[in-house]
Amino acid sequence: MAYDRFGRHLHYLRISVTDHCNLRCLYCMPKEMSFHPNPELLQDEELLYLVKLFTTLGFDKIRLTGGEPTLRANFLELVREIGSIPEIKILTMTTNGITLARLAEPLAAAGMKRVNISLDTLDPQKFSRLTRKGRLEDVWQGIIEAERVGMVPIKINAVIVRGYNESDAVDLARLTYEHPWQIRFIEMMPFGGITDVQLNQIVTKAEVQARIESALGSLQIENDGNLDGEAQVYRLAGAKGELGFISSVTAPFCWSCTRARLTADGRLRLCLLREGEVDLLTPLRKGATADELRQLIINGLWEKPWGHKLSEGEIPLNRVMSEIGG
């Protein structure tokens, strides 16, 4: 089993399977984004080899991210291979939902258990503006199809950006009256490349909650206040679904972190909001043994930092969000 120096049991691996994306969300990447050429990224056999190494250390939950993970070549087969590893109990994905209407059924058949879908507004024009090119209708159809094929509970991720969609939080919250979904409001986090937007246009959890309660009434906290993953969960009176708040900036939950991240170019990233990484791809391609790679992972995980230092002005600049996958 894998632990860090603070005694946290690490068993949840988030894998960015590609840095490519079919959207250009303004809080995620620059409008003119350049991506890694394919030879610089983990190939299928390399990724599967590393996943199996992580399972020998007790990792039993995998989340596939991007960029947009469904853009990766042979993605369905990759899901099938990962889903067939006996030690993996949960296989999930975070997606922008653009391709989900046609892929939900084959993904479910391949072993994908659940999906988190990004949706920041229910206004088609605002959606196009935020994503710089997307169609809201495509995402909505993807959500409905994912629910139909049983990839539940559906979790919808909304990043609220000042000047773009802060007024839309209420409409998103209303979805929980009719749908058993968890609508999750995520504070925008600062990264390299578009830091000014992320710092100057953040909308905090307290502000979003106040907007919702002013329009829809008080929120009742759920789960005895315990986190659901990263989210503090609430419910509107009479609602079928839940509201989640992920307050990485104003109320970090680092004490509960069980995660490590594997980037598309084969780096073990120890904290989303810190720059520290361990290169696994280079030694893998140079012929490192399984034991040598396993020790690299163990040593890296042990050095996982307690949390970010945003309050001290330390912002990760070595990557944009799309290279890590959140």
Residue 314 has pLDDT above 90, yes or no: no
**pLDDT of 124-151, one tens digit each?**
999 998 898 889 999 999 999 999 999 9
Give percent of the chain with pLDDT exceeding 90: 72
Higher pLDDT, 201 or 92: 92
Residue 198 has pLDDT above 50, yes or no: no
CATH code, 229:
3.20.20.70
Q: How many CA atoms lie within 13 A of 216 on its CB side?
A: 24
The pTM for the full model equals 0.93
At 142, list the tokens: 């993807």
Low-confidence winner among 50-59, 60-69, 176-185, 189-198 (lowest mean pLDDT): 189-198
pLDDT for 302: 97
Give percent of the chain with pLDDT exceeding 70: 93
Q: Averaged over 163-181, what is the pLDDT?
A: 95
pLDDT for 199: 52
pLDDT for 214: 98
Q: Could you give the number of structural domains in the chain?
A: 1
pLDDT for 191: 61
**pLDDT of 58-77, one tens digit each?**
999 999 999 999 999 999 99
| Interior/surface letters 152-181, b for 16+ CB within 10 angstroms, e for the rest | eebbbbbbbbeebbeebbeebbbbbeebeb
Q: Are 242 and 249 in contact (CB under 8 A)?
A: no
**pLDDT of 218-254, one tens digit each?**
999 999 999 998 899 999 999 999 999 998 888 888 8
**Domain extent at residue 198:** 2-323
Q: Averaged over 155-177, what is the pLDDT?
A: 94
Distance CA 224, CA 257 (A): 19
Q: How many CA atoms lie within 13 A of 138 on its CB side?
A: 17
pLDDT for 195: 44
Q: Which of 57, 58, 63, 67 is nearest to 99 (CA)?
A: 67
Distance CA 103, CA 97 (A): 10
269 pLDDT band, cuts 50/70/90, is: very high
Q: Averaged over 276-302, what is the pLDDT?
A: 97
pLDDT for 194: 46
Q: Which of 142, 83, 144, 67 is nearest to 324 (CA)?
A: 67
Residue 197 has pLDDT above 50, yes or no: no
